[in-house]
Chain A
Amino acid sequence: MMSSPPIEVVLLLAVALGLPLTAFGVIMTLTRSQPRVSAIISLGAIAVAFGASLSLLIAHWGMPTPLVYEITWLVAGELPIPLGVLLDPTSLLMLTVVAAISLLVQIYSLGYMAGDPGFGRYYGCMSLFAWAMLTLTVSSSLIQLYIFWELVGLASYLLIGFWFEKWTASEAGKKAFVMTRLGDTAFLLGLILLWLNLGDLSIAGLNDPQVADRLSPGQLTLAAVLIFGGIIGKSAQFPLLTWLPDAMEGPTPVSALLHSATMVAAGVYLFARLFGFFSLSPAVMTLCLAVGTLSMLLAASMALVSRDIKQVWAYSTISQLGYMLMGLGAGGFTAGVFHLTTHAGFKALLFLCAGVLIHHFDTNDIFRMSQRGSRRQRLTLVCLVIGAAALSGLPPLSGFFSKEMILAHLAVHAHPFWLAAGLLGSFLTAYYTFRLIFVLLRPAAETPSDDAEGHHHSEPFGELCMAAVLVTLAGLTVVLGFGQGALTHFLSAAAGAPPPAPAHHLGWLPVVVLTLTGAAIVAAWWEFARQKRSETGWVDRFPTLATLFARRWYLDDLYRWLLDRVVYGGFSRAFTWNDQRVIDGGLDGLGQTVIDWGAISARLNRSQIQFRLMVLFAVVAVLVLYLAFA
């Protein structure tokens, strides 16, 4: 496995991983003030990287074993820290997905971000983001993965807070950074634990079932739980889920990238990467299933009442990530990774459509959009409906196949409770998605000329870029589902993947799911789209419930309370006291003591130099006499 890699693989990898970094460096140091040049550099880099990763994927399609190429980066004591790549179906698929979504989002940004004063900086950060995520996907060891994991966090911080002159944006950036850091701390502790006990953090080594013999069950579970903490933070799962809805303060293309292929996907990707390791600990798999289910339902309930289009999609992201974790936690490796792939496509599509609407109507509120005539944005709405149908799991779109796989896996391998939760989730998903669609489809209340308020007259080229990206993604969403068989076969060769489970044809399951989805769509239509519509969702009939959902189950208030009481009231005060009394006081006391002693000895030594000299001589003379004669 540790042979030296063929030259074409080295070249392709160098291109895929090196160019975005180079683009970042060049843009940030040289061309930041020239928007056009920066965009061309960044786009060129990511386009070539996409081509390289696609050819890697094709070249390794059907390869027998995973390939690991490593070089020693540095040696700490006795332990070498390697830097390398691990090429297996999972990483190659993810590499291609990340490069593709990054490329599409960057093309879209040509139109969306046109004229922004920070255009060059935007493309620089985008390149950094793409580079960090691309390298994360092919990392061969957890140390390297952790480094790029943090770089992804940094890049998303920079992009969420891109409009940092806006108070909410900089706050949202900070919130995302700090909350994910909470999970990362657990991740790092888990890594240290594994390092101390195994001395080896290579992914291939960890997925080896023999790890169970070298670790006690307690240590194994603890390490797995700690690493899972990192996943919770990164993928915005319960209880660290509220940073993601706030992260929409960044530019919409950033949200699209963040929610589909990069930041939040990194968490689920890590779980898939260490799937063999996690499977060794049934407790953690159950925990994963529970956390996924809880986040999925919580986020779906929050999405029921939100009026902000980006927020609805953000909640749906959390909920879909919950689905992925449910699938993975139930042991469905291919189901989880497949849903990750399809979700990347249709979630990017949904966010980019939302971006077009926001760009055009200058508001995030779906009710205001429909008043201003969102119905007339035909192309965008068609794409939006395709994406929404995929999200709800309607055939023949990609979301249908992947969600079906997860649910089938739950039905076969897990307790019926989880399946019921999954079905409830798909009902809620369809409801909130089509609530949004039906609201947007309502006839405009205002005359067409009225939408001039805040209308951005973007250049035709930019509009073309955005439309082209939407159509491409919509096409992908339609087609990708039919690649299920090929992708499943491809993924089953992945490192740590269980042997492909025999295909379960549960005839009743699609029927149940589609009935539920259909019922949800009808309910949404009944409330928001028919002639004598009531305009209020069923949740709004229960004000307490609606408030609970709208306030995100008071999670933010809980954090605020914890922050005020524990962090500010407890730790900060204790540390401040320690700082002022113990450290400052100690240093001041030390200084004062020296000054006092100095004053005393100065008083002893003042003046009468000749008298002292005489005493000195007398003493020396006596000493000499004593030494000479005694």
Chain B
Amino acid sequence: MVPFSHSLLVAALLFGMGLFCLLTRRNLIMMLLGIEVMLNAGALAFVAASLHWQQMDGQAMVLFILTVAATEVSVGLALIVALYRRTGSVDPDPPADRQLAAQAGEGGV
């Protein structure tokens, strides 16, 4: 049987990887994926806790999380597709600000 601390560690690692993906990728789809990974890290921690304390509440919570995640992904993806159709871009920052950022990047940093 996997120790409780190991599963928590895996969950923390997954959460950190999702966060890293969310913060660094400059693509809305990949950011959404990062969010999903973070969400599932939380779900994993719930399952581990449920196993550790022999309580079914954690598992029930996970089922809720999966349902919400499914709907959230579909809505999020639809929004991103709509945004792409309108602007031709999946960049998280608006175009004008991208230019500003680019200039700032050229100037200093």
Chain B: residues with CB nearer than 8 A to chain A? 19, 22-24, 26, 31, 92-94, 97-98, 100-101
Q: Which of A607, A613, A617 touches B101 (beta carbons < 8 Å)?
A: A607
Confirm or deny: A533 has a beta carbon within 8 angstroms of a beta carbon on chain B.
Answer: no
Interface residues of chain B: helix, strand, loop or mixed (majority)? helix
Pairwise interchain contact A607-B19, C-beta atoms closer than 8 A:
no
Pairwise interchain contact B19-A609, C-beta atoms closer than 8 A:
no
Expressed in whole angstroms, the Cα–Cα distance for A617 and B26 within the complex equals 18
Pairwise interchain contact B22-A613, C-beta atoms closer than 8 A:
yes
Contacts A607-B100, A607-B101, A608-B101: A617 and B19 contacting too (C-beta < 8 A)? Answer: yes
Pairwise interchain contact A610-B22, C-beta atoms closer than 8 A:
yes
Pairwise interchain contact B97-A613, C-beta atoms closer than 8 A:
no
Pairwise interchain contact B92-A610, C-beta atoms closer than 8 A:
yes
Contacts of B93 in A (CB 8 A): 607-609
Chain A: residues with CB nearer than 8 A to chain B? 606-610, 613-614, 617
Expressed in whole angstroms, the Cα–Cα distance for A47 and B26 within the complex equals 91
Contacts of A607 in B (CB 8 A): 93-94, 97-98, 100-101
Expressed in whole angstroms, the Cα–Cα distance for A606 and B96 within the complex equals 10
Expressed in whole angstroms, the Cα–Cα distance for A606 and B92 within the complex equals 12
11 A-B contacts (beta carbon < 8 Å): A606-B97, A607-B93, A607-B97, A607-B100, A607-B101, A609-B92, A610-B23, A610-B24, A610-B92, A613-B22, A617-B23
List the 10 closest A-B pairs by CB distance, nearest first.
Answer: A607-B97, A614-B23, A607-B93, A609-B92, A610-B23, A606-B97, A613-B23, A607-B101, A610-B92, A609-B93
Contacts of B94 in A (CB 8 A): 607
Closest residue of chain A to B93 (Cβ to Cβ) is A607
Expressed in whole angstroms, the Cα–Cα distance for A340 and B55 within the complex equals 99
User: Chain A nearest CB: distance from B73 CB in Å?
Assistant: 19
Contacts of B101 in A (CB 8 A): 607-608
Contacts of B24 in A (CB 8 A): 610
Expressed in whole angstroms, the Cα–Cα distance for A614 and B20 within the complex equals 9
Closest residue of chain B to A621 (Cβ to Cβ) is B19
User: Chain A nearest CB: distance from B8 CB in Å?
Assistant: 15
Expressed in whole angstroms, the Cα–Cα distance for A388 and B64 within the complex equals 100
Contacts of B22 in A (CB 8 A): 610, 613
User: Chain A nearest CB: distance from B35 CB in Å?
Assistant: 10
Expressed in whole angstroms, the Cα–Cα distance for A608 and B92 within the complex equals 8
Expressed in whole angstroms, the Cα–Cα distance for A609 and B97 within the complex equals 11
Closest residue of chain B to A609 (Cβ to Cβ) is B92
User: Chain A nearest CB: distance from B93 CB in Å?
Assistant: 5
Expressed in whole angstroms, the Cα–Cα distance for A356 and B24 within the complex equals 99
Most buried by A among B23, B26, B97, B101: B23
Expressed in whole angstroms, the Cα–Cα distance for A608 and B109 within the complex equals 15
Expressed in whole angstroms, the Cα–Cα distance for A371 and B53 within the complex equals 121
Expressed in whole angstroms, the Cα–Cα distance for A613 and B97 within the complex equals 17
Expressed in whole angstroms, the Cα–Cα distance for A608 and B31 within the complex equals 14
Closest residue of chain B to A606 (Cβ to Cβ) is B97
Expressed in whole angstroms, the Cα–Cα distance for A610 and B25 within the complex equals 9
Expressed in whole angstroms, the Cα–Cα distance for A614 and B93 within the complex equals 15
Pairwise interchain contact B19-A608, C-beta atoms closer than 8 A:
no
Expressed in whole angstroms, the Cα–Cα distance for A505 and B14 within the complex equals 121
User: Chain A nearest CB: distance from B101 CB in Å?
Assistant: 6
Contacts of B100 in A (CB 8 A): 607
Contacts of B31 in A (CB 8 A): 610
Expressed in whole angstroms, the Cα–Cα distance for A512 and B76 within the complex equals 107
Q: Apart from A609-B92, A609-B93, what are 18 other A-B pairs with CB-CB below 8 Å?
A: A606-B97, A607-B93, A607-B94, A607-B97, A607-B98, A607-B100, A608-B97, A608-B101, A610-B22, A610-B23, A610-B24, A610-B26, A610-B31, A610-B92, A613-B22, A614-B23, A617-B19, A617-B23
Closest residue of chain B to A607 (Cβ to Cβ) is B97
Closest residue of chain A to B97 (Cβ to Cβ) is A607
User: Chain B nearest CB: distance from A627 CB in Å?
Assistant: 18
Closest residue of chain A to B31 (Cβ to Cβ) is A610
Expressed in whole angstroms, the Cα–Cα distance for A233 and B29 within the complex equals 81
Expressed in whole angstroms, the Cα–Cα distance for A609 and B100 within the complex equals 14
User: Chain A nearest CB: distance from B79 CB in Å?
Assistant: 14
Expressed in whole angstroms, the Cα–Cα distance for A202 and B31 within the complex equals 80
User: Chain A nearest CB: distance from B64 CB in Å?
Assistant: 23
Contacts of B97 in A (CB 8 A): 606-608
Expressed in whole angstroms, the Cα–Cα distance for A459 and B57 within the complex equals 99
User: Chain B nearest CB: distance from A105 CB in Å?
Assistant: 75
Expressed in whole angstroms, the Cα–Cα distance for A610 and B28 within the complex equals 11
Contacts of B98 in A (CB 8 A): 607
User: Chain B nearest CB: distance from A303 CB in Å?
Assistant: 83
Closest residue of chain A to B26 (Cβ to Cβ) is A610
Contacts of A617 in B (CB 8 A): 19, 23
Expressed in whole angstroms, the Cα–Cα distance for A610 and B98 within the complex equals 13
Closest residue of chain B to A613 (Cβ to Cβ) is B23
Expressed in whole angstroms, the Cα–Cα distance for A607 and B98 within the complex equals 8
User: Chain A nearest CB: distance from B97 CB in Å?
Assistant: 3
Closest residue of chain A to B22 (Cβ to Cβ) is A613
Expressed in whole angstroms, the Cα–Cα distance for A400 and B23 within the complex equals 107
Expressed in whole angstroms, the Cα–Cα distance for A337 and B100 within the complex equals 92
Contacts of A606 in B (CB 8 A): 97
Expressed in whole angstroms, the Cα–Cα distance for A334 and B40 within the complex equals 101
User: Chain A nearest CB: distance from B87 CB in Å?
Assistant: 15
Expressed in whole angstroms, the Cα–Cα distance for A606 and B97 within the complex equals 7
User: Chain A nearest CB: distance from B22 CB in Å?
Assistant: 7
Expressed in whole angstroms, the Cα–Cα distance for A103 and B19 within the complex equals 93
Closest residue of chain A to B94 (Cβ to Cβ) is A607
Expressed in whole angstroms, the Cα–Cα distance for A613 and B38 within the complex equals 14
User: Chain A nearest CB: distance from B99 CB in Å?
Assistant: 10
Expressed in whole angstroms, the Cα–Cα distance for A613 and B23 within the complex equals 7
Contacts of B92 in A (CB 8 A): 609-610
Expressed in whole angstroms, the Cα–Cα distance for A610 and B101 within the complex equals 13
User: Chain B nearest CB: distance from A570 CB in Å?
Assistant: 55
Closest residue of chain A to B92 (Cβ to Cβ) is A609
Contacts of A608 in B (CB 8 A): 93, 97, 101
Contacts of B23 in A (CB 8 A): 610, 613-614, 617
Contacts of B26 in A (CB 8 A): 610
Expressed in whole angstroms, the Cα–Cα distance for A610 and B97 within the complex equals 13
Contacts of A614 in B (CB 8 A): 23
Expressed in whole angstroms, the Cα–Cα distance for A95 and B19 within the complex equals 91
Expressed in whole angstroms, the Cα–Cα distance for A614 and B24 within the complex equals 9
User: Chain A nearest CB: distance from B84 CB in Å?
Assistant: 17
